[in-house]
Structure 1
Amino acid sequence: MTASDHGQVRSKRLGPLNADAIETAESELITTEELARMLRVDSSSIRRWRTAQPPQGPPFIPLSERVIMYARDDVREWLASRRVRPEAA
């Protein structure tokens, strides 16, 4: 089986790959390290939140045992839920 044949087999099983859909998914998902930079905390803090019982921090997506991603919309919602308004406190 050539590389070209392999690609055709993949397309038949999974359907054609849509470059726009892949690009959108990539821009909507961020890594632990990207989240840590966004929140200005160490990535070990994000990992600790995720492994705490019960889990803390924003919702996460385990793609595999070693690959964890975060949806930008989930992070925005989580941050909004943590907002404290002084006049309401």
Structure 2
Amino acid sequence: MPQDPAVPVTNAEAACPAAEADPPRPQAPRLLTTEEIARLLRVDPSSVRRWRAERPPQGPPFIRLSERVVLYDAGDLQTWLHERRTTPGARRRAA
């Protein structure tokens, strides 16, 4: 519908037409392959596979979709890396 030139349009109305706006959708998790994880961590993919095979499993949390398909959530990887961060000079917490 054309706008009447005599009626001013505010910036809020122009930037966000409420009737046409869709609600924000939750973002799907970013899933990474073993090779992508290895490249990000700068290790060989066989190291990532070995971590998964350890009992108990080592390395970042993973999602096994089938016997051959294993994926990693990028958020889980960031959390795993953050848990391993060492800050020099910081006191170590008692376990």
Task: Please give the per-residue CA displacement for 1:24-58, whole angstroms capped at 9, x wherever unaligned.
Answer: 45xx0000000000000000000000110111000
Q: Normalising by structure 1, what TM-score?
A: 0.69
Match of 1:36 in 2: 38
**In structure 1, what is the Cα distance between the partners aligned to 2:55 and 2:88?**
30
Matched pairs, number: 67
1:55 equivalent in alignment to 2:52: no
Matches within 5 A, 1:59-74: 59-74=61-76
Q: Find runs of 4+ consecutive structure 1 residues off by over 3 angstroms.
A: none
Distance of 1:79 and 1:50 partners within structure 2: 16
Which structure has the highest helix share of the two? Answer: 1
Counterpart Cα distance in 2 of 1:60 and 1:83: 20
Calculate the aligned-residue CA RMSD, in Å: 1.9
AA matched with 2:76 = D
Q: Unpaired runs of 5+ in structure 1?
A: 1-19
* Corresponding residue number in structure 1 for 2:14: none
TM-score normalized by structure 2?
0.65
* Superposition deviation, residue 59 in structure 1: 0.2
> What residue in structure 2 maps to residue 82 of structure 1?
84
